[in-house]
Amino acid sequence: MIRRWPCIAVAVVCCLLAVVTFASAECAWVLWEQTETAKAPMDIREETETKWKVLAALEKRGECQTAEAKWQQIKLAYVKERVEDKLTPVNTAPGHIHIELSGPDGTRGGFIHYSYQCLPDTVDPRGPKGK
């Protein structure tokens, strides 16, 4: 009977670790918007500026993905309403909006690219913060 106690203790510890690991996997989800802008066409790839912005924090990944689609629709409507005369094609794909801008003389100008990502609240797409 004494020999079974170590096995039982190991089994209890393994079960507790499994429960703790599962509980820590549940986290909040953050919807990020990345804006990349350039003054030259995308194929030239001169300097681009990238900015990240938090749009929402939600409890479940599915909620975040639903919010992602809604934010993309809102941004697309805004872009079409505000800058339609200054842009050429607006290309969209799930999670992305790409806008080619015309130059002052009608030639190809720069671009604006919006992308949306749902990431766990433990992930910051901007990278590590400096000290």
pLDDT tens digits, one per residue of 23-80: 345 689 999 999 998 877 666 666 788 999 999 999 999 999 999 999 999 998 888 7
**Nearest-angstrom CA–CA distance, 102 and 69:** 27
Q: Is the full-model pTM beyond 0.85? A: no
The residues, any chain, with a CB within 8 Å of residue 87's CB and separated by 6 or more, are 79, 99, 100, 101, 102
Name the residue among 87, 90, 91 with its Cα closest to residue 108: 87
